[in-house]
Amino acid sequence: MTLKLCTVVAGLVLLAPVASYAATEANFSARTTSDLVDLCTAAPDNAIGTAALNFCEGFAQGAVLVEMQNQAAFRGPKLFCMPNPPPSRNDAVSEFVAWARSSPDRLAQSSTDGLFRFLSERYPCPPSR
pLDDT for 66 equals 95
pLDDT for 9 equals 31
Which parts of the chain have pLDDT scores under 70? 1-21, 129
| Strand partners for 51 | none
Rounded to 5, what percent of the chain is helix, strand, coil?
65, 5, 30
- Alpha-helix residue ranges (DSSP H) falling in 30-88: 33-40, 47-73
Please state the pTM of the whole predicted model.
0.80
pLDDT for 94 equals 96
For residue 38, the tally of other CB atoms under 10 A from its CB is 22
Q: What's the half-sphere exposure (Cβ side, CA atoms, 13 Å) at 41?
A: 21
Residues in the chain: 129
Using alpha carbons, list the distances in angstroms from residue 116 to 11, 51, 125: 29, 23, 13
126, 81 contact by CB (below 8 A): yes
Domain boundaries, the chain: 28-122
